[in-house]
Structure 1
């Protein structure tokens, strides 16, 4: 299995099906962009001021130098692919690429860009949809033909699904090939790890606060077991860890101005991650609703996101759905706990 390349895997999956061959060609083009970006990241500060702010999105989020470089690398790689329409976090509107293309692609060229200058993992997230016209990127996640992410860390990894399970690949640098290391990733249904930015605790709604409180209470609390906290500030790094060993990731909406629907984008962040998770026997919701069932209204639409081990994702949904599912709040814990109910 280790010797099987990404090309081998995609050739076997696509066979003689024309649309699948187009998907395979597009995935390979994205992998080429990932290889180029990985080399740039490996140079670190020697490659220049990659973490410098070069501009801002319409909603105020900053654009780093490497965000723009990554976007250009992806666009160049897809120029010769059968992609009719490309949407990116770094572009206000989608752009037309190949008039004869059969596919629409949306990308977050550089997830976790706040980590650029700290030597932590960053990534590229992508989704591939059938081209159905100018609004092709606004199809629900159930229509995805393929999705995945590249993770640039100690090694370069690729998580991919074409709707037949989730496969994991690692870049064999001397040969420039992605080689399969996991043919069928499986996310355990239960977990002892959660990832959330606890600095925002005072802004969470009651359901999220209660869920995290119960995890923090450990073996003495209603969960009857201890949990570990993980948070990388790079969603792809947390997603890869969950694919490898389970866990749950939460980026909820909260009471801060502009954060009512979270900060992650439905089309090119939440949807591809949800597709990967479901194909690995995990789950992904906005806290209540299945992510893949949400019909996007705009390319950059934001959505709360909870994904990972199915049992935990479903528990968070129960906390949101039914107040009776919330364990009793101890007055003592309410006064002295790290997070107040």
Structure 2
């Protein structure tokens, strides 16, 4: 099996970018160790604080965020970082070539039950037209990412990453402490009967979204459809990348969820890059996620991503229903 660095060199990845990726993965190995220790390391349970998203922080959230933050800010290639756990941009080095955004621990509600959790990260080139420590550094559409990936902590720790080419999967070798290539090119099947969505939110969805899922659960054309839900986007997307299906998190009527719950910068963009790199589709209300120009650091978007035919059917259905409803209203 091949090691990570030779693969990156084979892909002609910039040397400074390779060094930055190594920094992120060094932090991921430390997080993986803390996760494996669980209660033995004293990192289970919640703190008394809320993060910028209004969510109660888990102890491991805080640990993972600090590990990534400290290691990245010690890297001369990093001009600035943005974290789901931080309210503002954290400045790095004025002459750094890259900016980094991350969700230090996606799926943190699973921590205390030993469920799936992961770290999501993305790297962009520095914008020369704005100050290095400015929030506008991160106002770049997702197609400008130079690297995106996640580390899924589980029975084995898996790195799924793209630097603009194929979406590749690596497994952490605990014996030697490095990531080894285990899937050279992940490919999402065009169609699948599996889908991942939090059906408990059905009552809050708009009528077109509920209408689609009514069809999905009852119409003969969708027979044998199967619901899979991890309560960790990183775990659900890994399953989609591995065997197909669709992940959906729509907007809903609750205050704060008008545009969904998934953060564009930390979650939607990096995972969309991985899904597209594996032959899938990633959209927000029918729009390609990687084409969206961010308007704020913690912007949220509705998400549908995965097998091409499934996402296309959902988007067409929602478009047709929205058109039908607008036509009905205009003629009344």
Shift of 1:268: 1.1
Give the alignment's TM-score, normalised by structure 2.
0.92
Equivalent residue number for residue 282 of structure 1? 280
Equivalent residue number for residue 328 of structure 2? none
Give the whole-Å Cα distance in 2 for the aligned partners of 1:81 and 1:44.
Answer: 32
Q: Which 4+ residue blocks in structure 1 deviate beyond 6 angstroms?
A: none
User: Is the 8 Å Cα contact of residues 8 and 18 (structure 2) preserved in structure 1?
Assistant: yes
Give the whole-Å Cα distance in 1 for the aligned partners of 2:76 and 2:235.
Answer: 28
Give the whole-Å Cα distance in 2 for the aligned partners of 1:198 and 1:311.
Answer: 21
Task: Note closer, same or farther for the CA distance 1:296–1:224 as it changes in structure 2 (3 Å cut).
Answer: closer
Deviations 1:221-264 (A, max 9, x none): 24253111000000100011111100100111011121111111
Task: Note closer, same or farther for the CA distance 1:81–1:167 as it changes in structure 2 (3 Å cut).
Answer: farther
2:121 pairs with 1:126 = yes
Pairing 1:58-207 to 2, within 5 Å after superposition: 58-78=52-72, 79-132=74-127, 133=130, 134=134, 135-207=136-208
SS of 1:164's partner is: coil
Give the whole-Å Cα distance in 2 for the aligned partners of 1:324 and 1:231.
Answer: 27
User: Which sections of structure 1, spanning at least 5 residues, go unmatched?
Assistant: 327-341
SS of 1:175's partner is: coil
User: Is the 8 Å Cα contact of residues 149 and 159 (structure 1) preserved in structure 2?
Assistant: yes
Deviations 1:131-187 (A, max 9, x none): 013322110101111101010011100110111110000101111010011111001
Equivalent residue number for residue 330 of structure 2? none
Shift of 1:59: 4.2
Equivalent residue number for residue 307 of structure 2? 309
Equivalent residue number for residue 251 of structure 2? 253
RMSD: 1.5
Equivalent residue number for residue 211 of structure 2? 210
Give the whole-Å Cα distance in 2 for the aligned partners of 1:306 and 1:100.
Answer: 37
User: Is the 8 Å Cα contact of residues 212 and 318 (structure 2) preserved in structure 1?
Assistant: no
2:39 pairs with 1:45 = yes
Deviations 1:262-305 (A, max 9, x none): 11110111000001000100011113111111110111111111
Give the alignment's TM-score, normalised by structure 1.
0.90
Equivalent residue number for residue 294 of structure 2? 296
Pairing 1:319-330 to 2, within 5 Å after superposition: 319-323=317-321
SS of 1:311's partner is: helix
Equivalent residue number for residue 11 of structure 2? 13
User: Is the 8 Å Cα contact of residues 84 and 102 (structure 1) preserved in structure 2?
Assistant: yes
User: Is the 8 Å Cα contact of residues 89 and 108 (structure 1) preserved in structure 2?
Assistant: yes
Equivalent residue number for residue 34 of structure 1? 28
User: Is the 8 Å Cα contact of residues 208 and 322 (structure 2) preserved in structure 1?
Assistant: no
Equivalent residue number for residue 22 of structure 1? 16
Deviates more, 1:146-155 or 1:6-15: 6-15
Equivalent residue number for residue 327 of structure 2? none
User: Is the 8 Å Cα contact of residues 54 and 65 (structure 1) preserved in structure 2?
Assistant: no
Count of residue correspondences:
317
User: Is the 8 Å Cα contact of residues 25 and 81 (structure 1) preserved in structure 2?
Assistant: no
Shift of 1:205: 1.4
Give the whole-Å Cα distance in 2 for the aligned partners of 1:160 and 1:197.
Answer: 26
Equivalent residue number for residue 228 of structure 1? 226
SS of 2:211's partner is: helix
